[in-house]
């Protein structure tokens, strides 16, 4: 063998030895890992590790003034790691701790608690025990952390508080409960909570947890932990004062009429901001509760009845040269169209009526005859006008579950010779209240149709993240001349027509009543759907509103008597609150003689002290707060009662006394000027909610 071949052979042998050595090392390592892995697997059977979600804190929901409508509050369940406390700490405090637990929870004796904890402490495996399943609030948690043993601290005292968050509504079920809504454990829900669930819910975090004996999991805080990103806050357009009025008034009229359900929506004309939205349905047991959003959803989608006549009259004015004083023979109360008889509310009929009065008195016959005359040969043209008014499409409301309007057309299988006249008075079609209100609001807004809005702003803590602006659906739904005509007709409805019962001398209301038979299983019944939709003040519209009450069973079943009064109660409330709409409330005139000291109102103690100091004759008055009647250089005191939950009358008082009374009532006060209170923005004797702001003008 050559030297070269010999060297090559030796290299090959050396290489083979290295490979075999490496394989031996790898085998040994694999064997060790197998053995060690088996040990870890056995240990894992006893103590498991798992990455689990860390829930995010849900965002808050606010009213337009910052009042809290929904928030998440922390609640806890008390558990314990019995092995955590040092022997000295445990032995010194276990008796006292057991007594505390027994007194607080009341389910076990002190001895039973002591035995339960000591037994768990003696267990060979780690034992994580739930001391009680009762839910604790944050104050309970703070107090329990100070108990014996537990006071040693988070890791040395053994106390473990399992955090749970619960949704809390400060106003309970009394204020926009269904509108606020909920999200359940299956991530299903309703209302704002569901519609804005992604924003409110935040983003879950992730952390490593260790499973303890008994099935409980304990977090292990390490560098891999991903913190949860808490949910965003949403600020709604809801005005809590108007919401309270809407709900209380709706409930009152539902109750006295024994109706099945009702809803109210009020919004600001220029912005589309919804200031109140209430939905109440009859409970099977008794009373009413917010079970469904009738204002927006499919269950509220129905024949609107006579409120739809506004769209019909608008189509007529746009298509013809009709004027308000043109007349139509409305017959003697009934009118045959093909095989159907159309009737008016007045059994003997109206005879000849002007177009303005046809609308004001809501003559079915008058409207149907006009539509038959001008659109009978071309019903598609009428349908085109209705569509041009934006009544055939959903509005894309911010809350989920909006119904889709249904406007019949001649190509439908159910179209018949009576479809056109019946549609003209609000039958054979379907709108939800929110759609009707959006249309009426466009009339109030000079023809500009805007999308109703219920959420205005999105916040992360105090930082504004997103602001929703007013969104225009249609710039003009009709001509200016048509707008002038329909507005005049709507004012006449309240001045002398079907809604004259809600007329007021303080401000102008424009609107339309509606009463429609309810269709069930394809047939019209003797049950009625009543409504009123309108806006105010009619000469400078600021708010629009729709009220619906379905299936009233009282003496009257007309929209004018059932629904319109709810509208009036709300508009009166706004009129009382909005100083721009009305003349200021003046302080009571005093019959004061020349040079006689000005004495009007204040605290009993202060007023009588001053009169005594100045030598003024006075008598009467035993309440804490008094008003003065002056006669013949003497004062007679009148008691000024402060009634709970009603706005007090502070006119005539000095600012010091007015602030004392109002702030003790829970009201926030803004004031301008100096001297005595001359006017207040909230009418005395009206209901209020704590935290509401009242304005005072001093002079």
Tens of pLDDT, residue by residue over 296-308, are 999 999 999 999 9
**DSSP-based helix, strand, coil % in the chain, nearest 5:** 35, 25, 40
pLDDT at residue number 44: 40
Question: What residues does 569 pair with on adjacent strands?
Answer: none
pLDDT band at 587; cut points 50, 70, 90: very low
Last residue of a domain, one of 236, 258, 286: 236
Residues 6+ apart with CB under 8 A from 2: none
In a domain, 107, yes or no: yes
Backbone angles phi, psi at 515, to 5 degrees: -140, 115
The span from the CA of 568 to the CA of 549, in Å, is 14
pLDDT at residue number 459: 93
Specify the DSSP class assigned to residue 431.
B
> Which of 543, 545, 542 is CA-nearest to residue 533?
545
The side-by-side arrangement of strands in the sheet containing 261-268 is 288-289, 274-282, 261-268, 543-550, 523-536, 510-520
Q: Are residues 517 and 458 in the same domain?
A: yes
Residues 6+ apart with CB under 8 A from 443: 310, 477, 483, 486, 487, 490, 535
Last residue of a domain, one of 201, 236, 271: 236
pLDDT band at 45; cut points 50, 70, 90: very low
Mean pLDDT across the stretch 621-645? 68
Give yes or no for residue 206 having a pLDDT over 50. yes
In a domain, 523, yes or no: yes
- Alpha-carbon separation of residue 547 from 300, 305, 571 (angstroms): 12, 13, 12
Q: Are residues 562 and 615 in the same domain?
A: no
pLDDT at residue number 585: 46
Q: Are residues 329 and 230 in the same domain?
A: no
Contact 531, 555 (CB under 8 A): no
The span from the CA of 639 to the CA of 348, in Å, is 56
Cα diameter, the chain: 150
Mean pLDDT across the stretch 647-659? 81
- CA 628 to chain CA centroid, Å, is 44
Contact 600, 652 (CB under 8 A): yes
* Residue 542's CATH number: 3.40.710.10
Domain tally, the chain: 4
Q: Are residues 648 and 505 in the same domain?
A: no
What is the H or E stretch that residue 105 is in?
helix 87-105
Torsion of CA 182, 185, 186, 187, to 10 degrees: 40
pLDDT at residue number 592: 41
pLDDT at residue number 122: 85
Mean pLDDT across the stretch 498-508? 92
pLDDT at residue number 42: 43
Strands 233-236 and 61-62: parallel
**What is the residue-averaged pLDDT of the chain?**
84
pLDDT at residue number 72: 85
Give yes or no for residue 19 having a pLDDT over 70. no
In this predicted model, what pLDDT tens digit does every residue of 117-168 receive, in sequence order?
Answer: 998 888 876 667 888 888 888 889 999 999 999 998 867 888 888 777 788 8
Contact 655, 617 (CB under 8 A): no
* Residue 225's CATH number: 3.90.1310.10
The side-by-side arrangement of strands in the sheet containing 668-672 is 668-672, 693-698, 677-680
Last residue of a domain, one of 236, 260, 290: 236
At what angle are helices 433-444 and 480-495 packed, to 10 degrees?
Answer: 110
3-state SS of 297-337? CHHHCECCHHHHHHHHHHHHHHHCCCCCCCEEECCCCEEEE
* Residue 611's CATH number: 3.30.10.20
Q: Are residues 230 and 253 in the same domain?
A: no
Q: Are residues 210 and 293 in the same domain?
A: no
Q: Are residues 364 and 473 in the same domain?
A: yes
pLDDT band at 506; cut points 50, 70, 90: confident
pLDDT band at 379; cut points 50, 70, 90: very high
Total length of the chain: 699
User: b/e per residue, 617-650, with b = 16+ CB within 10 A?
Assistant: ebeebeeebbbbebeeeebebeebeeeeeebbbb
The angle formed by the CA atoms of residues 511, 569 and 240, to the nearest 5 degrees, is 110
Question: What residues does 62 pair with on adjacent strands?
Answer: 68, 235
pLDDT at residue number 654: 80
Contact 158, 81 (CB under 8 A): yes
Q: Which of 245-249, 312-316, 659-663 has the lowest mean pLDDT?
A: 659-663
Mean pLDDT across the stretch 365-388? 96
**Domain containing residue 185:** 54-236
The span from the CA of 619 to the CA of 634, in Å, is 8
Pairs from 4-12 (Cβ < 8 Å, separation ≥ 24): none
Q: Are residues 230 and 257 in the same domain?
A: no
In this predicted model, what pLDDT tens digit does every residue of 669-699 receive, in sequence order?
Answer: 888 777 788 888 777 777 777 777 788 888 7
Contact 153, 146 (CB under 8 A): no
- CA 298 to chain CA centroid, Å, is 19
Q: Are residues 209 and 339 in the same domain?
A: no
In a domain, 592, yes or no: no
In a domain, 61, yes or no: yes
What is the H or E stretch that residue 26 is in?
helix 3-46
How many helices (H) and strands (E) the chain has is answered by: 19, 33
Backbone angles phi, psi at 572, to 5 degrees: -65, -40
In a domain, 588, yes or no: no
pTM for the full predicted model: 0.71
Q: Are residues 300 and 330 in the same domain?
A: yes
> Which of 496, 399, 396 is CA-nearest to residue 450?
396
**Most confident of the following: 75-89, 180-194, 369-383:** 369-383
pLDDT band at 526; cut points 50, 70, 90: confident
In this predicted model, what pLDDT tens digit does every residue of 321-359 receive, in sequence order?
Answer: 999 999 999 999 899 999 899 999 899 999 999 999 999
pLDDT at residue number 398: 94
DSSP-derived 3-state class of residue 97: helix
- Alpha-carbon separation of residue 564 from 23, 259, 516, 567 (angstroms): 93, 15, 15, 5
Give yes or no for residue 631 having a pLDDT over 70. no
What is the share, in percent, of the chain residues with pLDDT greater than 70? 82
In a domain, 589, yes or no: no
Contact 544, 440 (CB under 8 A): yes
The span from the CA of 327 to the CA of 353, in Å, is 5
Q: Are residues 204 and 259 in the same domain?
A: no
Report CA torsion sign: 421, 427, 429, 432: positive
- CA 676 to chain CA centroid, Å, is 38
At what angle are helices 564-577 and 240-257 packed, to 10 degrees?
Answer: 150
In a domain, 590, yes or no: no
In a domain, 587, yes or no: no
- Alpha-carbon separation of residue 513 from 477, 505, 532, 643 (angstroms): 22, 20, 4, 36
Q: Are residues 183 and 260 in the same domain?
A: no
């Amino acid at each position: 063998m050559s030297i070269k071949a010999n060297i090559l052979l030796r290299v090959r042998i050396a290489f083979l030895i290295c490979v075999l050595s490496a394989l031996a090392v790898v085998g040994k390592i694999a064997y060790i890992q197998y053995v060690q892995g088996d040990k870890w697997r056995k240990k894992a059977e006893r103590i498991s590790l798992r990455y689990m979600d860390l829930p995010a804190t849900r965002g808050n929901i606010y009213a337009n003034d910052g009042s809290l409508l929904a928030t998440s509050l922390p609640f806890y369940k008390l558990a314990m790691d019995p092995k955590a406390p040092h022997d000295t700490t445990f032995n010194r405090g276990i008796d006292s701790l057991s007594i505390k637990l027994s007194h607080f929870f009341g389910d076990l004796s002190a001895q039973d608690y002591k035995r339960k904890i000591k037994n768990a402490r003696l267990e060979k495996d780690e034992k994580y025990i739930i001391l009680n399943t009762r839910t604790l609030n944050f104050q309970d948690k703070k107090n329990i952390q100070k108990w014996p043993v537990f006071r040693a601290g988070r890791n040395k005292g053994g106390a473990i508080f399992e955090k749970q968050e619960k949704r809390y509504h400060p106003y309970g079920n009394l204020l926009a409960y269904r509108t606020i809504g909920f999200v359940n454990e299956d991530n299903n829900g309703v209302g704002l909570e569901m519609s804005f669930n992604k924003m409110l819910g935040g983003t879950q975090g992730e952390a490593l947890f260790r499973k303890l004996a008994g099935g409980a999991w304990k977090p292990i805080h390490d560098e891999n932990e991903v913190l949860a990103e808490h949910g965003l806050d949403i600020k709604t357009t809801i005005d809590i004062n108007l919401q309270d009025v809407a709900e209380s008034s709706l409930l009152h009229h539902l109750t006295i009429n024994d109706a099945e359900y009702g809803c109210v929506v009020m919004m600001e004309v220029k912005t589309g901001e919804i200031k109140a939205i209430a939905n109440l349905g009859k409970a099977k047991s008794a009373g009413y509760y917010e079970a469904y959003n009738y204002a927006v959803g499919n269950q509220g989608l129905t024949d609107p009845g006579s409120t739809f006549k506004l769209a019909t009259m608008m189509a007529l004015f746009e298509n013809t040269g009709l004027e308000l004083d043109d007349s139509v023979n409305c017959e003697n109360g009934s009118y045959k169209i093909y095989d159907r008889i159309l009737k008016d509310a007045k059994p003997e009929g109206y005879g000849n009526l002007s177009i303005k009065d046809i609308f004001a008195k809501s003559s079915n016959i008058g409207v149907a005859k006009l539509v038959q005359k001008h659109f009978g040969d071309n019903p598609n043209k009428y349908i085109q006008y209705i569509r041009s008014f934006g009544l055939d499409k959903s509005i894309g409301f911010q809350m989920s579950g909006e119904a889709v309007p249904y406007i019949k057309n001649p190509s439908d299988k159910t179209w018949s010779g009576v479809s056109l006249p019946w549609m003209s008075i609000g039958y054979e079609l379907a709108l939800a209240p929110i759609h009707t209100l959006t249309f009426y609001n466009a009339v109030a807004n000079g023809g500009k149709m805007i999308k109703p809005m219920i959420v205005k702003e999105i916040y992360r803590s105090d930082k504004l993240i997103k602001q929703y602006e007013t969104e225009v659906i249609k710039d003009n739904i009709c001509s200016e001349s048509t707008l002038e005509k329909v507005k005049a007709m709507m004012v006449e409805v309240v001045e002398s027509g079907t809604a004259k019962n809600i007329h007021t001398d303080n401000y102008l209301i424009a609107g339309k009543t509606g009463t429609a038979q309810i269709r069930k299983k394809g047939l019209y019944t003797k049950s009625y759907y009543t409504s009123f939709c309108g806006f105010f003040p009619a000469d400078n519209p600021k708010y629009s509103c729709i009220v619906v009450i379905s299936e009233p069973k009282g003496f009257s079943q007309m929209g004018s008597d059932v629904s319109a009064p709810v509208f009036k109660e709300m508009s009166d409330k706004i009129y009382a609150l909005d100083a721009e709409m009305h003349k200021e409330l003046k302080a009571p005139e005093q019959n004061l003689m020349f040079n006689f000291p000005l004495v009007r109102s204040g605290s009993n103690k202060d007023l009588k002290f001053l009169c005594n100091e100045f030598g003024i004759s006075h008598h009467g008055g035993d309440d804490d707060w008094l008003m003065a009647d002056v006669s013949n250089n003497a004062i007679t005191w009148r008691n000024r009662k402060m009634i709970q939950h009603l706005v007090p009358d502070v006119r005539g008082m000095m600012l010091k006394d007015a602030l004392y009374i109002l702030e003790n009532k829970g009201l926030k006060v803004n004031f301008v000027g100096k001297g005595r209170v001359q006017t207040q923005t909230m009418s005395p004797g009206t209901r209020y909610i704590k935290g509401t702001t009242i304005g005072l003008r001093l002079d």
